[in-house]
Structure 1
Amino acid sequence: MVQSPSRIGLIWAQARGGVIGAGGTMPWHLPEDLKHFSRTTKGSPVVMGRRTWQSFPAKFRPLPGRTNIVITRDDSFTDEGAVRARDLTEALRIAHGALGAQADGADAATGSAEGSHGPDGPHPTIWVIGGGSIYREAIGDADLLVVTEIDLEVDGDTTAPDVPDHFYAATTDPTAGWHEAANGLRYRIVTYAR
């Protein structure tokens, strides 16, 4: 079987003004977005900074069904379930290796031979999942951006990068208007491609 070339995707949720975090957490509760995140990234390597890793409750670390790659310069970092990388370049190299292992049906880290099908086809995807500085560094290499826009004004200390001009909105869900979450928050998911 011939493998499709892998791509790099960035996925985040943002409130108005591009706010993605406050004090090391997301300043909202949107279970529908968490389910979307899980569906989208399951079976794929995920790359994140140490603060993003530590923002997940211990019971959710590592994120199941994914190779969890954590970027940190701290040589003493050895959290169970995390693969340490010193920088983004090393993290992407490790992620490509994880995809290769999945293609061979031997991904011991996730226990799965499935690759991510992503929102628009069967391309293996490496997902960058935060935080703000990692997004800014990775966006130049990205092929795909999946952004949950939340119709909420909130204070925060971390913002998403601006979407570069060479990306276009490939899909919006819903195509017109917004979803309404069970808790009343309005949101929509926009997928940008090169």
Structure 2
Amino acid sequence: MTKKIAAIWAQDQNGLIGKDQTLPWHLPAELKHFKEITTGHAILMGRVTFDGMNQRILPNRITLILTRDTGYQIDDERVLVFHDLASVLTWYHQQDKNLYIIGGGQIFSAFEHEIDEIIKTEIHASLVGDTYFPEDFDLKKFREISNHFHPKDEKNEYDFTVKILERKGS
């Protein structure tokens, strides 16, 4: 398997990805999918996203935090703090794990030209929140290679579709 940089996120039908620094939905099947994809690899997020998770370190993953705050530190060997895109990419090229970018919007935008694959969950609902996926992210540079529909059920309040896209020309 060739390692890759992938963006992975869920959004409602209007591009909403967050509310008060958390997810505005609870979809256990989507969370299970996220865990299956990212376990054993590295996840990258911004400081605000990490703080919105109450600085919870997800098990069996290396957590990378990208922040402009040069004084920001997390005292845990499972968390690496970076202050610029170049140092994250240097780290990525020196190891063998996939890198999954999980948010927020500024981090997706910063890595737009480095992303090989997109794993996007589209929630078939219009929800309320305050954070949206970046409108200027150019999804036209990617082509859909698969999608899987998950109907709502007793545990998952909304229908959703997981789409996998790869960069054109790769």
Q: Report the TM range for the smaller structure's normalisation.
A: 0.7 to 0.9
Query: Which residue of 1 is the match for residue 142 of structure 2?
Result: 167
> Partner of 2:103: helix, strand, or coil?
coil
Query: Which residue of 2 is the match for residue 180 of structure 1?
Result: 152
Report % sequence identity.
31
Cα distance in structure 2, aligned partners of 1:37 and 1:94: 23
Structure 2 residue ranges without an equivalent (≥5):
none
Query: Which residue of 2 is the match for residue 193 of structure 1?
Result: 166
Moved over 6 A (4+): none
Q: CA deviation at 1:63?
A: 1.4
Cα distance in structure 2, aligned partners of 1:145 and 1:163: 12
Counterpart contact for 1:10–1:142, Cα < 8 Å: yes
Counterpart contact for 2:117–2:165, Cα < 8 Å: yes
Q: CA deviation at 1:163?
A: 4.7
Cα distance in structure 1, aligned partners of 2:109 and 2:43: 16
2:31 aligned to 29, 34, 37, which one? 34
> Partner of 1:63: helix, strand, or coil?
coil
Q: Deviations over 1:4-61 (max 9, x none)?
A: 5421100000011110011111111111111111110111111110011111145xx2
Supply the AA of the counterpart residue of 2:140: D
Give the direction of change, closer, same or farther, for the CA distance of 1:28–1:22 in structure 2 (3 Å limit): same
TM-score, normalization by structure 2 = 0.87
Counterpart contact for 2:26–2:157, Cα < 8 Å: no
Cα distance in structure 1, aligned partners of 2:91 and 2:58: 17
Structure 1 residue ranges without an equivalent (≥5):
100-123
Cα distance in structure 2, aligned partners of 1:45 and 1:31: 21
- The alignment's C-alpha RMSD in Å is 1.7
Give the direction of change, closer, same or farther, for the CA distance of 1:183–1:164 in structure 2 (3 Å limit): closer
Q: CA deviation at 1:179?
A: 2.2
1:79 aligned to 68, 74, 77, which one? 74
Counterpart contact for 2:66–2:83, Cα < 8 Å: yes
Q: How does 1:45-64 map to 2 (within 5 A)?
A: 45-58=42-55, 61-64=56-59
Query: Which residue of 2 is the match for residue 149 of structure 1?
Result: 122
Give the direction of change, closer, same or farther, for the CA distance of 1:62–1:95 in structure 2 (3 Å limit): farther
